[in-house]
Structure formats: structure tokens, C-alpha cells
Amino acid sequence: MRCLTNHWCASQLSQKYSHDTLSACVCLSEVHVSSGADLFSLANQGVIVTGAARGLGLCIAISLLEAQCPHVYCLDILESPMDSEWIAATQAAKKTGGRITYRKLDITDQHAVTKVIGEIFEDCDYDVKGFFGAAGIQQMIPALEYPVEQFRKMMDVNVTGKFQVYELSLRGS
């Protein structure tokens, strides 16, 4: 074990600063890790990623597997993930000993979100402790020409949908 700050433990601080200054500092000598990687370990944690049928969301899912996350749940409105990218994701899972699962989900459908998140919490052998909200839509339309209904749909997906998944993930379904 080594000190988190690598060289500034409390004993070294006391040599450099007066007692009054030290009383305002956090005692660094009590914060120990075996390595910097332990601070960011995803071992024994399940993680949910929305927008994970392709692109950024699926890249995040693969990165989570590479960071030793044992089970990543990929959620997206698409019927199935993009074949070529999903092959890479399943290979990453196999290489790391992890597991990756795809579920079709419209994050704007509150009933469906409640059902799927509940099923994930029942299915996962680990505590589900992470959520990455990569689901989102955009349209390249000048602001003065943006139809209100399309703007509402964008907000429903990009804000409300993410909030629903995030909230239920925190609650444990």
C-alpha cells in the first residue's frame, strides 16, 4: 500500500507546515490504495449504458468491459445492435471474462423503463452501480426553423428519458 498522494503524507506535511495549518487539512495518511487503478475499479459492479446499440454508447460499453466491469447492460431503441460493433463488444467481453447484454428499450416509455431496469437488477449477479446516458437525438435544423414537436421529442429523449433511467438505476429499480 502507498499513500494516495504518493509523497505528501501527514508526517511530511507536519515538517513543512505549522500545526494550525495541519488542523485544517484532511489527514492524508489514512487514505491508502494498493494502486491508482483500485480507485477506478469496476470489479464486482454492473453498469447500464443507454444509446448502446452502436457508436459512442457501445464504445463506452466496450471500455467498461476493458476496465474489468463484469456485466454491462446495453440499452437502445433499436431492435438490435449494429452487427460489426456488437461483434467487437462480445469479443471484448470474452477477452476480459465479462458479460455484455443488449436490451431494446425506448427510454421515453416510463412503464418500459421501470420494467427493464427492474429485470436488470434481478438478473445481474453484481450490484448495479453505474449508469452512462449516451442515448440522444439531434437534428441539424436552424433554431428559427426548428419545429416545436421535434424539439419536444429531442428533450423527451435527451433529458426526460435519461432522467428516468438514471433515477430508477439509483433506486435499484
**Shared-domain flag, residues 29 and 112:** no
pLDDT for the residue 1? 32
Residue 61: which CATH number?
3.40.50.720
In terms of domains, do 105 and 22 share one?
Answer: no
**Residues 6 and 61 placed together within one structural domain of the fold:** no
Do 56 and 126 belong together in one domain?
yes
- pLDDT 10s digits, 1-57: 333 333 333 344 344 444 443 333 333 344 455 566 666 778 889 999 999 999 999
Tell the residue number behind the cell numbers 489527514, with chain if given. Answer: 27
* Averaged confidence pLDDT in the chain: 82
Q: State whether 115 and 140 are in the same domain.
A: yes
Task: Identify whether residues 79 and 163 lie together within a single domain.
Answer: yes
Stretch 148-158: mean pLDDT: 94
Residue 120 has pLDDT above 80, yes or no: yes
pLDDT at site 41: 76
Residue 13 to residue 2: CA distance in whole angstroms: 16
Residue 71 has pLDDT above 80, yes or no: yes
What is residue 61's predicted lDDT score, i.e. its pLDDT? 97
Task: Say whether both 33 and 76 belong to one domain.
Answer: no
Which of 75, 49, 76 is closest to 62 using CA atoms? 49
Does 145 lie in the same domain as 122? yes
Which of 14-28, 57-71, 137-151 has the least mean pLDDT? 14-28
Total tally of structural domains belonging to the chain: 2
- Domain interval for residue 21: 1-40
Looking at the fold, whether 70 and 138 belong to one and the same domain comes out as yes
**In terms of domains, do 32 and 66 share one?**
no
Q: Are residues 14 and 63 in the same domain?
A: no
Same domain, 24 and 50: no
pLDDT of 170 reads 86
Q: In 5-126, where do the E strands start and end? A: 32-33, 45-50, 71-76, 99-104
